[in-house]
A and B are shown apart, each in its own frame.
Chain A
Amino acid sequence: MTAGLQIADLCVAHGPRQMVRLTADIAPGEVLTIMGPSGSGKSTLLAALTGTLDPAFQASGRITLNGREVTRLPTRQRRIGILFQDALLFPHLSVGGNLGFALPRGAPDRTARIDRALAEAGLAGFAPRDPATLSGGERARVALMRTLLADPEALLLDEPFSRLDAALRDQIRSFVLETARRHGLPVILVTHDGEDARAAGGSILSPMGAPVPAS
């Protein structure tokens, strides 16, 4: 069994237009950065990986996660977590409720695990808070912890830092990347920001699989 996320000749086309053509092997704790201008197929790639591709696209290839082929599995069975540029906290639930949503059903010690996750994010005691009252940075951290509580085997980052201001950006970026590394997750970071790509460390490809220089 191979650990990590393997993408074997993943091709996505919309009619005659080829959007994605990618082969990659991302080991646990490693980051693959996908860079390209808007409309270059970055979100299409993410949709293919999460299994939410619109039926109008034609796709082929193979996605394997820790030796498990997930290519045809529905989203919820893939165990691939995703963070968007908005935190997308559920506004009707408390911070704790948002985290609880991600915990697998019947998981023991729910409250304790939620509290631990909050402590890990430096947000101890935030469980009863209304998400609408959090700052941007706090929201981003809650969103990451929510993703991690679902016990994912890989993490996708869809420009998750682009909405944050410069000071916060560095802080949150290193928090997310370090946490992902600590949890041993293969990460795909989609961005158009060279700064992000450099900070991530790993290799940088375009959605069509071409190497991109990190500058």
Chain B
Amino acid sequence: MTPAAPRPGPLRLVLGLTIAALAVPVLAGLWGTVTPALKPGALAALWDWPGLFPAARLSLVTGIGSTVVALAITLLILAGLRGTRAYAALIRLLSPLLSVPHAAAALGLAFLITPSGWIARALSPWATGWDTPPDLLLVNDPAGLALTFGLIAKEVPFLMLMALAALPQTDAARRITLAETLGYSRAMGFALTVLPALYRQLRLPVYAVLAYAMTTVDMAQILGPTLPPTLSVQITLWMTDPDLSGRPLAAAGALLQLALVIAALGFWRGAEVAARRTLRHLAEQGHRGAGLDRLAVALATLGAGTTTAALLAGLAGLALWSLAGLWPFPDILPEAYSLQTWTRAGPGVWQATAATAGLGLATALIALALVLGCLEAEQRFALRAGRTRLILWLPLLVPQIAFLPGLHALALATGTGGWAATLAAHLTFSLPYAFLSLAPAFRALDPRLAPLAASLGASPDRIFWTLRLPLLARPVLTAAAVAFAVSVGQYLPTLLMGGGRIETLTTEAVALSSGGNRRLIGAHALLQMALPALAFALATGLPALAFRRRRGMAP
């Protein structure tokens, strides 16, 4: 029998605050940015830009292409490598890989594959006969292949993290075993029995990846083509045009960018339906997929191996550059070493580190409190997630460049710049990721635990603090680490909302990368990585330490 409806009280407030933190900045910023686009002539000027079609096509092709491949690699890893030593190694590498800043990943990759890069150096001149680098268009290629590869390498770890959070609810091991006893290959068993449940959890993260890939600026600036660049890069160029006449054009471009993202998401949904039908058909027809396993393992190893090796080698290259003196082609190692880059970074780094960590911690704590409040409210009052879910995705689906300038204007008009506004902007971007990484685990917690504890006399608050929170220690801390890492990575929001006066490791790093100096970029990439890597290490290490005597709490 139903007891009298509980009073939502403060938890309702948390829901409201969360929705406000997500929606207000985006909608207000969008309004401020898009209104100039509706000025007469702006859309026409955009239409007249000869690069419009190639740039839009590039955004679509690199965005959708990289998302398809990254998702495929993630699923192949789960289908083909689970339980192997390579899989365990990959899981351990996940946190450091996630902590690599996008710009650093791109620059590391560029150094790897460019004709004067590490791979060419390793083979020259003994194998290639090159004394000077060959004139080959490998980075910034017009088809955007280098950019697509970079995006894939950076997206696979994120999708893996999200899949790992969702996997326990799919009962994967038993379902696959069951399918195998029915004569299915492991890969086919995965596709037919686990994938449908898994993808339901993975869908929104995939959408976020798609939107990000289509709108990224920092990776596209480094790896993408330039004649023309992707639409998002071009919008940024217009936005920063000194004679200010580019603003309406940028606004119109941002509007188009938004439309493209929506169109791509629509296309993706259509593909989902087709894929689901195909899977159902395969299942009904009883395709065992004999021989698929070897292919899956081969492709998974290739995909995971290439992306991981590329990210790590790129990073190692940058780290080496940060210690390098002169390092001419085709030397595989620097001619001389020097600590100059690091000593130069000097005392300013500590200040920037403190600011970065402070902002990140505040962001993570608030984001965590709001996310936990929302999820707890959802549990206690049996709320449906539908409506809030879309709002959650707003900051991830609307291109940053489309609403940040408007948001900046709003902050100036209301006089709310500075730390508070910067924190609010960081929160807007961190919240969705924190929610995404925590919600599946929170919702997957055994639904009988709460009534059982209540029948033992525990109040809802006690159930939350003594059962849910400790039981979810790992996902809760991981969500905090994710929010922290997202905050650490913010460049444009920090620059705009902080009025340039808040100096974080990332604003430093991006300002320095504008010089293209590999030594500095290497040093700063490592510094920028250190904080999130520490956060991720704590998120896995602390629960492991606290529950080292509880086998039932092993991941």
Contact = CB atoms under 8 A, between A and B. Distances in A.
Interface stretch (A23-31, A83-91, A180-188): A83-91
Contact of B448 (A88, A104, A133): A88
B452 A132 contact: no
Give chain B's interface residue range (CB within 8 Å of chain A).
20 to 34
A91 B553 contact: yes
B368 to A, nearest CB: 19
A75 B455 contact: yes
Contacts of B452: 82, 84, 88
Contact of A92 (B2, B454, B456, B553): B553
Contacts of A212: none
B551 A130 contact: yes
Interface string B447-485: 011011111111100000011001101000000000000
Nearest to A85: B448
Interface stretch (A145-153, A165-173, A190-198, A201-209): A145-153
A10 B1 contact: yes
Contacts of B515: none
Interface in B239-267: none
Contacts, number: 104
Contacts of A71: 1
A92 B453 contact: no
A208 B482 CA distance: 51
Interface stretch (A32-40, A54-62, A109-117, A119-127): A54-62
Contacts of A76: 454-459
Nearest to B549: A130
A132 B551 contact: yes
B6 A90 contact: no
Contacts of A84: 448, 452
A75 B552 contact: no
A80 B455 contact: yes
Nearest to A73: B3
Interface string B391-426: 000000000000000000000000000000000000
A142 to B, nearest CB: 13
B550 interface: yes
Interface string A86-104: 1011111110000001101
12 contacts: A50-B455, A51-B3, A57-B2, A76-B454, A80-B455, A81-B455, A86-B448, A91-B552, A91-B553, A92-B553, A131-B550, A131-B552
Interface of A: 10, 12, 47-55, 57, 59, 61, 63, 71-82, 84, 86, 88-94, 101-102, 104, 130-133, 146-147, 149-152
Given A80-B455, A91-B552, A132-B552, 16 more contacts: A48-B1, A71-B1, A72-B1, A75-B3, A75-B455, A76-B454, A76-B457, A82-B452, A90-B471, A91-B553, A101-B456, A101-B466, A104-B457, A130-B550, A132-B550, A150-B455
